[in-house]
Chain A
């Protein structure tokens, strides 16, 4: 059985790095968020929706607000596997592997459809 070619080495390396950094950054932000909530335990509501706007999250991050830290960690965590698909897409593009370019492109199309449906289509 042959060892992975240069193409696959690039894909493996890129995928590994994205997953690792996604894990590290979101873990640090979640840890900070929990640490900020720890000294004065807040009352939390279980009544949805749980939402925070991007400007509010950005303002909260400056003050290390617990909710903003956790919101940012969640967004980054969700984006990590998305970034992994994009990185793989670029690696396959560089290697001109058309079949896998089409396959990763199809996955990206499903992700775009998900965002469109979530934002505009399900209310």
Chain B
């Protein structure tokens, strides 16, 4: 195919949007990049997954460095959960090298549907718990206490310091492992699962969970990227505009994120996930059963 100016420009623009949305929602942008490359640019899913993994590292560096600088990230918590996510990413990327394309697409659609549900059902959780001090009053579990995983950050939208105690380490580790599997298998950072694990089961406020996830997705995606790189599946000419675009989008999105309310972020996220899930599922059904669902523009 010709590496034309319009191809590069559209790829870059799509990546800017993906990086921006990814930063707002604490995900690597891979959740948008893979569908964009597969549905919009008709690229094979494994090339899309490989390119997406590298772009996830780019957004993690861009967004992650800012969150770390402002101490929104809980570095200790992130490092603790990274043991599980990197192991999961290794399992997932080994699996990805051998799975059929339609199965990967169907799994991707299922993951999007779960993410939509998880975001929608927790959209008002944070504001209420921050207001009544629920995040700070919880009891730490044994691992959290021993590793000093509690944290705090300044919430610009609320104009106050938000402290929280971490608990639920066991379910947090288990879900982080699954997040790693999804990362290696499907080319995403696994950020939504990590944010969901921390926010829902570990008593971490959404924004701290987003900042911590942002740092973690880099190393998680690096594991998959190393395997895909050594397997010769990373297409440098595709990755370059995608990584540049996601970096630009993530840098911008990170600046906006801390000024927005969690409920707004999660509502936006739900709608996008449902739309992309439909597109990926339609593609999987077309590949496996030659069943063509109506095209909704994806």
Contacts and interface: CB of A to CB of B under 8 A. Distances in A.
Nearest to A80: B61
Interface string A9-37: 00110011001101100110011011001
A23 B5 contact: no
A interface majority secondary structure: helix
Contacts of A19: 60-61, 64-65, 68, 215, 218
B57 A27 contact: no
Contact of A74 (B1, B150, B161, B239): B239
A20 B68 CA distance: 10
A19 B86 CA distance: 18
B234 A50 contact: yes
Contacts of A31: 244
Contacts of B221: 81
Interface stretch (B69-77, B100-108, B257-265): B69-77
A20 B240 contact: no
A43 to B, nearest CB: 6
Interface residues of B, number: 66
A22 B240 CA distance: 15
B115 interface: no
Contacts of A11: 75
Which one of B47, B152, B226 has the highest number of Cβ atoms from chain A below 10 Å of its Cβ?
A: B226
A111 B229 contact: no
B223 A50 contact: no
A11 B71 CA distance: 11
Interface of B: 1-5, 8, 43-44, 46-47, 54, 57-58, 60-62, 64-65, 68-69, 71, 73, 75-76, 79-80, 82-83, 86-87, 90, 94, 97, 136, 146-147, 150-152, 161, 163, 215, 218-219, 221-223, 225-227, 229-241, 243-244, 247
Top 9 A-B residue pairs of the complex, sorted by shortest distance between their CB atoms: A49-B232, A118-B230, A81-B218, A19-B65, A70-B236, A23-B61, A81-B219, A1-B163, A110-B86
Interface of A: 1, 4, 8, 11-12, 15-16, 19-20, 22-23, 26-27, 30-31, 33-34, 37-38, 41-44, 46, 48-52, 66-67, 70-71, 73-75, 77-82, 84-85, 88, 99-100, 103-104, 106-107, 110-111, 113-115, 117-119, 122
21 contacts: A12-B71, A19-B60, A26-B58, A37-B8, A41-B4, A42-B237, A48-B233, A70-B239, A77-B58, A77-B243, A78-B225, A85-B219, A88-B79, A99-B146, A99-B147, A100-B147, A103-B147, A111-B86, A114-B226, A117-B94, A117-B227
